[in-house]
Homo-oligomer: A and B are copies of this chain.
Amino acid sequence: MNEAVRVYAPATVANLGPGFDILGMAVTEPGDIVTASFADQPGTFITRITGDGGRLPLDATLNTAGVAANHVRRQLAPHLGINLEIDKGLPLASGLGSSAASAVAAATAVNLLLGAPLTPMELLPATLEAEAAVSGRHADNVAPALLGGIVLVTGATASNLHPIPVGPNIASLNITLITPNVAVPTAEARSVLPHLVPFPTVVHQIKAVGQLVHALHSDDIDLFTSAMMQDAIVELARKHLIPHFEAARDAALGMGGLAAVISGAGPTLCVLTRSHAAANHIGETLCNAYAAQSINAVFRVVNISQQGAAQLP
């Protein structure tokens, strides 16, 4: 057995436009790092958290990393004790799957510490239990954080996780993630969703989702990015939660952005481009524009991560 295991789990962009609750994509950065080691007494303990500005609970029953790690520990070695150190690379409540990344990194680290008897798919229950503790039992972030790539999620069990192959064209896309420093709690982002949807809008949405999944399988960038822009339900309901969303989106599309959507529940804006220079230019321009409105914002230019959570040296 190892003395300590460090695991990196990636941020994830859920929805991809019209794919509400069903599509999630792992990106290369940012990510959370969780280090698991053996404790002297049975149980799961969080010994340190960095990068969270002191906002996350050290109580392992209230922290997604702690819940996920404890689930795996109980399953594999209930008599053992686990210490966790969490290094938050992800901003909290940013729409990048922060809670999922911590849960996935922790579950993976404990599994590896205990000799890796479980597959990534088999870590789904632990990570879903952790998600349920903070934001609802949804696998659209944990699944790509576990498995990498783009995952179609049709339910809350392993048989409902369907990795979609990412072809070379779509893998070549540059992704600019622009995160303004405003809080959009997941619960509020869910509360603004409509209760009833007009039937023609439903038909529009299923067309868009069909196109989205077909485009991914066809490795067709134009079809993919045009499908991403066709969400007619969720973005409309949520965009007022993100300051200057429409202006930012339109500016991004005017600077070479092929698609610009809210990542998860926001406020991160996810922009796809063919050119790395355009991706950087979009990030800089939008961060400057936010700054001019007295809103701090950060950006990263990343790629799709074909790899999910993985051990670090």
Contact = CB atoms under 8 A, between A and B. Distances in A.
Interface in A185-224: 193-199, 202-203, 205-214, 217-218, 223
What 5 pairs between A and B have smallest CB-CB spacing? A217-B217, A196-B196, A213-B213, A206-B209, A154-B207
A21 interface: yes
A164 interface: yes
Contacts of A213: 209-210, 213-214, 217
Given A213-B214, A214-B152, A214-B213, A20 B193 contact: no
A162 interface: yes
A21 B205 CA distance: 11
Contact of A154 (B162, B164, B211): B211
Interface of A: 18-23, 152, 154-155, 162, 164, 193-199, 202-203, 205-214, 217-218, 223, 233
Given A194-B199, A213-B214, A206 B164 contact: no
B20 A210 contact: no
Nearest to A195: B199
B210 A22 contact: yes
A17 to B, nearest CB: 11
A22 B202 contact: no
Nearest to A194: B199
A199 B209 contact: no
A19 B211 contact: no
Contact of A210 (B23, B196, B197, B198): B23
B206 A22 contact: yes
Given A152-B210, A206-B206, A197 B199 contact: yes
